[in-house]
Amino acid sequence: MVPAAAQATPVAEAVDTLAIDLASEPATLDPALVYDADGWSVIHSVYDALVQYGPDGAIEPLLAESVTWLDPLTYEARLRRGVVFHNGEPFDARSVVVSVAHLVAPGSQVADNFRVIQDVEEVDPHTVRFKLSQPAPWLPAQMAAWLAMLPPGYTGDPSSDFTAKPIGTGPYRFAGWERGSRIELELNGSFFGGSSKGRPFARTVTYRFVPEGSTRVADLLAGNAGLARSVPVDQVEAVRSAGAEVRAEPISGSAWIRIPTDVAPFSDARVRQALNHAVDVDAIIEALLGGNGQRLASFFVPNGLGYDPDLAPYSYDPDRARALLAESGYANGFATTLAYTSDERQEVVAAVAGQLAEVGVRAELQAVEKATFNQTWTDPQAALSASLPGARCSTHTRCSACSSPIAASCPATTTRTLSR
C-alpha cells in the first residue's frame, strides 16, 4: 500500500500574478484529447489525478489517500475525503467511474491505455477497485498522466463544455480563454494540498501563447513573463547571463520518427534499417540540442519499464545505409514525405532530412498544425498520403508499436524535439 502525504496549508505568501509563455495553444482542454506539454501544463493545474509522479519519479497518491494492489488483477484506491470540485460537487467514487468512462469513450486519444480496465467497482463512496483483464503494472503511471478526475454532474450535463471550460479539483480554477491569445486561471483557495504537486503561489495565472522562441525569451528577460517553456538551445546562455534560471531535467519521454511498416518501401526491414544507419542522432543532439538528450535503442527510456541496457542503438553508418538500400532494390534511393508539427523545431527535422538525402532518400518536409497532426495518430491510412513511393514518415514523442525507430530521449527543458 502507498499512503498519501500529510495535509498542508494550501497557500501562503502568494504573489498577485504569474505570466507563463507557452510555445503553442492547446487545441482543447479535454484530458482525453490533450497530448502536448503546453496543454498538460494547464490540465494539471486545473485537474488532479488519483496518483502522481513524486520528485523521484515514483508513483504516489494524490486524490487517493492510498493505493494498493490487492492481487495482480485488482487495484484499489481509497479516496481523500472532503475534496470538492471547483463547482462545489463532491469528489467521490462516482467521479472515478465517470472519468474512466470518458477516457475509454470513442474519440479518446488514450483509450487503448486503459482498455485493460474491465470494471470500476464502487466499494463505498470513498473506495474504488479497478478490475483488470490482465496484469498491468504500468497502469498507475498511465493514471498519473491521463486519469484526471471529472465532476460527474458537470460532465454529464449536455449544456456544459468541459473541453473549453474545465472544472477540476486542482490548485487553480479556470477563469477564461481568449482564443489565439491566452488562458486565465485563478487560485483555488480550497485546494487540499499536502502532496508533491506543491502549493499555488500566485493568485492568478495567465498562460500566453507565444510560438516564437526568441519572443518567449524576450518576455522572460523583460519581466513580462515569469516562466517560459521551450527555450531555444542557442539562447540558453543569454538567459542565464541575464540572471534567469534555465532548468534542464531528464524526463521519461522519447522522440522518434514513425515509419509505416506495411507500406513499400518501408515494409522491407532493410529499408528501415538503412534509415536508422543514415541518421547521426548523436551529432544532432550535440549540435542542435546543446547536448541535452541520449540516443535510444528502442522506445523505452533508462529506468523505465521494458528498458534493456544491453540493447545497442543503430550505429551511424551511411555506407551501410546505402548498401542496404541497394540490396532492397533502391540503389538510387526514393522520395517520401516527412511530416512534423508546425510548432516544433524545423532545424532538427531538416537535419534528419539532410542526412537521409546523403544516402539517396529525398524527404520533403511537411509542417502540419498540431491538432491535425494528432488526428492521424490512430488513422491507418495516414501513412498513405505522400509522394513516390506512396508513404510518409512522421515525427513523434510518445511510445508506439512502430518498429525500427530513429529514436532519442528528450530534454525536459529547452525543447521537445521531433515532437508531436
Per-residue model confidence (pLDDT) at position 14: 67
**25-168 is classed in which CATH architecture?**
Alpha-Beta Complex (3.90)
Per-residue model confidence (pLDDT) at position 393: 54
Name the nearest CA neighbour of 168 among 110, 81, 89, 103.
Answer: 89
Q: How confident is the model at residue 413 (pLDDT cuts 50, 70, 90)?
A: very low
Q: Give CA separation, 236 vs 254, 289, 341, in Å.
A: 22, 11, 23
Q: From CA 170, how far away is CA 49, in angstroms rounded?
A: 9
Q: From CA 128, how far away is CA 50, in angstroms rounded?
A: 11
- Give me the sign of the Cα torsion angle 373, 292, 275, 256: negative
Residue 15 predicted with pLDDT over 90 = no
Residue 316 predicted with pLDDT over 50 = yes
Cβ contact 331:388 at 8 Å? no
Write b or e for each residue in 401-418: b if 16 or more Cβ atoms lie within 10 A of its Cβ, otherwise e. ebebbbbbbbbbbbbbbb
- Give me the sign of the Cα torsion angle 102, 162, 27, 385: positive
The β-bridge partners of 13 are: none
Residue 99 predicted with pLDDT over 60 = yes
* Rounded mean pLDDT, 294-305: 82
Cβ contact 406:393 at 8 Å? no
**Fold of domain 250-411:** Dipeptide-binding Protein; domain 3 (3.10.105)
Per-residue model confidence (pLDDT) at position 12: 45
Q: How confident is the model at residue 378 (pLDDT cuts 50, 70, 90)?
A: low
Per-residue model confidence (pLDDT) at position 263: 86
* Rounded mean pLDDT, 28-34: 93
Per-residue model confidence (pLDDT) at position 382: 57
* Rounded mean pLDDT, 195-210: 91
Q: From CA 216, how far away is CA 223, in angstroms rounded?
A: 11
Average pLDDT, the chain: 85
Name the nearest CA neighbour of 40 among 75, 49, 17.
Answer: 49
* Rounded mean pLDDT, 282-303: 86
Q: From CA 341, how far away is CA 322, in angstroms rounded?
A: 29
Query: Between residues 81 and 307, which one has the greater pLDDT?
Result: 81
Residue 39 predicted with pLDDT over 60 = yes
Secondary structure tally for the chain: helices H, strands E: 11, 17
- DSSP letter string over 224-253? S-SEESS--GGGHHHHHHTT------EEEE
Per-residue model confidence (pLDDT) at position 109: 86
Per-residue model confidence (pLDDT) at position 149: 98
Give pTM, 2 decimals.
0.76
Per-residue model confidence (pLDDT) at position 195: 79
Q: Which of 54-63, 132-141, 279-288, 330-339 shows the lowest mean pLDDT across its residues?
A: 54-63
Tell me the residue type at 390: G
In 234-305, which residue ranges form alpha helices assigned H by DSSP?
236-241, 269-278, 281-288
Cα 414 versus chain centre, distance: 15
Kindly report, residue by residue over 141-198, the tens digit of the pLDDT.
999 999 999 999 999 999 999 899 999 999 999 999 999 999 999 999 999 887 778 8
Residue 411 predicted with pLDDT over 60 = no
Kindly report, residue by residue over 217-232, the tens digit of the pLDDT.
999 999 999 999 888 8
Per-residue model confidence (pLDDT) at position 394: 54
Kindly report, residue by residue over 42-93, the tens digit of the pLDDT.
999 999 999 998 887 789 999 999 999 999 999 999 999 999 999 999 999 9
Q: Map out the domains of the chain as residue ranges.
A: 25-168, 210-241, 250-411
Q: What percent of the chain has pLDDT over 90?
A: 60
Residue 13 CB neighbour total at 10 angstroms: 6
Residue 305 predicted with pLDDT over 50 = yes
Cell numbers placing 221: 528577460
Residue 353 predicted with pLDDT over 50 = yes
Residue 302 CB neighbour total at 10 angstroms: 11
Q: How confident is the model at residue 395 (pLDDT cuts 50, 70, 90)?
A: low
Cβ contact 195:44 at 8 Å? no
Kindly report, residue by residue over 241-259, the tens digit of the pLDDT.
998 888 877 666 778 888 8
Residue 363 predicted with pLDDT over 90 = yes
